[in-house]
Structure 1
Amino acid sequence: MDRTSQHRPAHQTKSEKILKYSGYSLRQSDDGVTNGTTLWLGGQILSAYLPTLKTRPGKAIELGSGIGLSALTLASLSWDVVATDLPNVIDSVLSQNVSNNAHLTAGTIHVRELDWVAKPEQWSWTDANSVSSPSLSKDPPTEDPIGPPFDLIVTSDTVYIPQLAQHLLHTIHTLASLSLTGGKSPLILLCFERRDPLLIDRTLNDARQLWGIKPERVPHKKLTQAMEKAGLKWEKEDWDGVELWKLKLAKSLKGATGEAGS
């Protein structure tokens, strides 16, 4: 395998402040403050899989956009994307990466803060900076809301802390419920490394049992084919443990019994 390739696995490029990847120039910040300011394997696999979607490009939202690779990939495929994360990630890497690479995309990307812990009834889609903390923004409201319904919801490398898992599921459930079209759930993609099997299994089980979200794993063979098309010619050990799941809202908002933080 060519280790000098721009498509190296994320664990080999953590120290690179400017990462050249898939034609993008992406700023990274491995400062130990947060995990969201560097590239991770889940984001790489998700971004490789996105071009294989047969869904017509529409409006998408990403939870935990990090350095912006998946959002940029979607926008390059003509999706209009709301890329969300916490303020420190947005300020240190995400906003700059989106701005610097916007000329390479056919779709649009709107960067917004979205804290999964914030209650959905407090969300605002007209705020110019934040969905979950609109009262802190000093900029005037946007004239054209960027909110739901969404045709696609994506997230990667976001199942790693037990305390946040329920908040993530709550956020996904709310967004999917607000995006139902004719009773049909939007496509939801969740990609992660199985670092903590107990946490992963509990999260997937809670999605099904507590939130009415049906998970279905994307076959390993399909991921391998997508990676080959994307130029990710890695050894098995380079991405062992990465899984991609399709989620589908099976119940209405009233049917869910989960509570964030439980």
Structure 2
Amino acid sequence: MPLPAHHTKHLNSLAYPIGLDLTVNLLQVDDGKTNGTGLWLGAQCLSLFLANSHKRPSPSIGRPKAVELGSGVGLTALTLAALGWDVLATDVSNVITTVLSQNIARNTAVLPAGSGCIEIRELDWTVTPEKWSWDNDRVIASASCENPQGASDLQLSSLQVESSLQRPGPPFDLIVTSDTIYSPELARPLLRTLYALYSASRTPHTRCPPIYLCIERRDPTLIDRTLAEAKDVWGFTVVRIPHRKVVKAMDKGGVKWDQEEWEGIEIWKLTSAADVTST
């Protein structure tokens, strides 16, 4: 049984079980430069919830595609890939070069047959969606280069590009993020990014993808304000996953932590965005 993340921050490498009789090796770095280079409790709980409360995709309907914001050490991306999803794992440049790329590369070979593929791209939420590019094989959006190759004339509606392993853009079947509401300055850029990905995944024949947002309630005021903005500004329907369902998924995954070890963890589902114009 994995330990809660706050017990393992001092470790540079973690042998981490993700189910399916599979253990991955996760590099983490505690260098004070960014929060994203270490494992966090929200990623642990979200991965367990997704792995143990959702049906494995059927090969007969094709491989579904997920996008993750703030992939960090890559635990959720690896879990989804092991379950049969193709995953676009995104983060800022420092996290990608420090831990994410290495963790994906070192663990891809141990994923079981039938696993999905994982692509990694830089996606800085502070860059507005009209400056994004899906043609760059490394960067969707970067604050240091606001117009990646091919992005200068990109509009939000043109984000709906053909899906393939070479062009891992929308439409997506699932959007996930965890431990990403921690800074007042980044809350609105995060919601704007979620809305852009959600809107770009609309197709005439499919429903918009659910967004699963896992948070640890360290700053209740910030959390409540962000969830309210998701509803009132961006038009999402915001529903908390019942705690009993999260407990059930964790129990099914063999994780039975004492309640105080993961107190404050919440998983929220965002759906049914209305058209809005606020930025």
Deviation per CA, 1:14-57: give whole Å up to 9, x if none.
Answer: 00000111101000001111000000010000000112214735
Q: CA deviation at 1:180?
A: 1.3
1:145 to 167, 171, 178: 167
* 1:162 alignment counterpart: 184
1:181 maps onto 2:203 in alignment: yes
Report the secondary structure of 1:66's partner residue: coil
1:104 maps onto 2:127 in alignment: no
Q: CA deviation at 1:249?
A: 3.1
1:50 maps onto 2:50 in alignment: yes
**Distance in structure 2 (CA, Å) of the matches to 1:45 and 1:246:** 14
* 2:97 alignment counterpart: 91
**Distance in structure 2 (CA, Å) of the matches to 1:177 and 1:209:** 17
* 1:244 alignment counterpart: 267
Q: CA deviation at 1:214?
A: 1.1
Q: 5+ residue gaps in structure 1?
A: none
* 1:15 alignment counterpart: 10
1:121 to 126, 130, 133: 130
Distance 1:15 1:143, change over 3 A: closer
Aligned length: 247
**Distance in structure 1 (CA, Å) of the matches to 2:100 and 2:141:** 17
CA contact (8 A) 2:210 2:269 kept: yes
Deviation per CA, 1:150-207: give whole Å up to 9, x if none.
Answer: 0000000000101100000000000000001337321110001001111111111000
1:205 maps onto 2:228 in alignment: yes
Deviation per CA, 1:106-130: give whole Å up to 9, x if none.
Answer: 1100010000011111111121101
Normalising by structure 1, report the TM-score.
0.90
**Distance in structure 2 (CA, Å) of the matches to 1:100 and 1:144:** 21
* 1:70 alignment counterpart: 76
CA RMSD of aligned residues (A): 1.7
Counterpart code for 1:53: H
**Distance in structure 2 (CA, Å) of the matches to 1:116 and 1:40:** 20
**Distance in structure 2 (CA, Å) of the matches to 1:232 and 1:55:** 20
Counterpart code for 2:169: G
Q: CA deviation at 1:231?
A: 2.0
Counterpart code for 2:79: T
1:132 maps onto 2:130 in alignment: no
Identity %: 52
Moved over 4 A (4+): 134-137
Q: CA deviation at 1:256?
A: 1.3
**Distance in structure 2 (CA, Å) of the matches to 1:249 and 1:196:** 26
**Distance in structure 1 (CA, Å) of the matches to 2:243 and 2:165:** 43
**Distance in structure 1 (CA, Å) of the matches to 2:198 and 2:165:** 24
1:256 maps onto 2:276 in alignment: yes
1:230 to 226, 230, 253: 253
Q: CA deviation at 1:257?
A: 3.8
Deviation per CA, 1:57-104: give whole Å up to 9, x if none.
Answer: 500000000000000000000100000000000000000000000023
